[in-house]
Amino acid sequence: MFERLTFSFKAKFSRLLDNAEDPAEILDYSYERQIEQLYGMRRDVAQLATAKMRLVHQRDRRQDQFVKLESSARRALELGREDLARQALERRRLLGLELVDLGRQVSELERRQAQMVAYGREARAGVERFRYRKEVTKAQYAAAKARVTISEAVAGLSSQLREAGLTLERTRGKLEDMNLRAGVTQELESAGTFAEIGAGEDDIDRRLRELSSGGSIDAQIARMKLELNRGKP
């Protein structure tokens, strides 16, 4: 159970890291680290060259002493001091051994310096290639990210437009229904269907009143004709 929980935690943590990391930032950080390593190699080469120059100076001084000791031995022999000549030659022999060792060390440092310079040149070329690929990759990533953002925006806008279209259709349906109901209501009101109860005559009373009023007018006209006929000779 503990192993399963650990594996699940690692998987979730890895997913969180994938979502949080920015490839452009990682590439820039990697490039900066490579630049720092190049500067470190340059410092190492400078330190190696400095150490080599110290050995070269020591070798030159020993070389001068080596030449002077030979002259000193000759001078001692000229003065009849063979013992001093032997001491000078012995010191000259020891200096010769030191010169051989110094020459070997200088040669070794020169070889290592040449190797480091060659490695540094290759490293700089590699860093330049990485910088070019980094910029290209960053541009491609930015373009892909922009396409994803635009696609998501278009998808969201399309969804909103569909929802707005459905809302518009529902609104139009409601408007048509409301207009239809208003027309029916107006027609029924004109027909007196919605007359208030107890407020007066209804439709039947109104029609009877019209008939009765029309009948009384006919009766009045007949009566007036009769009266006019009676007044004639």
Position 171 in a domain:
no
| 233 has a pLDDT exceeding 80 | no
pLDDT of residue 154: 79
pLDDT of residue 193: 58
What is the pLDDT averaged over residues 54-61? 90
Tell me if 130 sits within 8 A of 27, measured CB to CB: no
Position 42 in a domain:
no
pLDDT of residue 17: 47
Position 112 in a domain:
yes
What is the pLDDT averaged over residues 121-141? 88
What is the pLDDT averaged over residues 10-17? 54
Domain count, the chain: 1
Which amino acid is located at 93 in the chain? R
Position 120 in a domain:
yes
- pTM assigned to the model: 0.50
Is residue 197 very low, low, confident or very high in pLDDT (cuts 50, 70, 90)?
Answer: very low
Reduced DSSP (H G I as helix, E B as strand, rest coil) percent helix, strand, coil of the chain, to 5:
90, 0, 10
Residue bearing the bigger pLDDT, 67 or 211: 67
Tell me if 100 sits within 8 A of 42, measured CB to CB: no
Position 214 in a domain:
no
| 84 has a pLDDT exceeding 60 | yes
| 101 has a pLDDT exceeding 50 | yes
Position 225 in a domain:
no
pLDDT of residue 5: 58
| 134 has a pLDDT exceeding 60 | yes
Tell me if 153 sits within 8 A of 50, measured CB to CB: no
What is the pLDDT averaged over residues 196-225? 61
pLDDT of residue 167: 79
Per-residue model confidence as pLDDT tens digits over 140-154:
888 888 888 888 777
Q: What is the end-to-end Cα distance of the chain in Å, rounded?
A: 135
Q: Could you give phi then psi for residue 79, rounded to 5 degrees?
A: -90, 0
Residues ≥6 apart with Cβ < 8 Å to 123: 34, 37, 38, 41
Is residue 225 very low, low, confident or very high in pLDDT (cuts 50, 70, 90)?
Answer: confident
Is residue 210 very low, low, confident or very high in pLDDT (cuts 50, 70, 90)?
Answer: low
pLDDT of residue 163: 78
C-alpha 146: how far from chain center: 9
Residue positions counted in the chain: 233
Q: Which domain holds residue 88?
A: 47-149
Position 126 in a domain:
yes
Is residue 224 very low, low, confident or very high in pLDDT (cuts 50, 70, 90)?
Answer: confident
Distance (Å, rounded) from C-alpha 93 to C-alpha 102?
Answer: 14
3-state secondary structure of 32: helix
Position 16 in a domain:
no
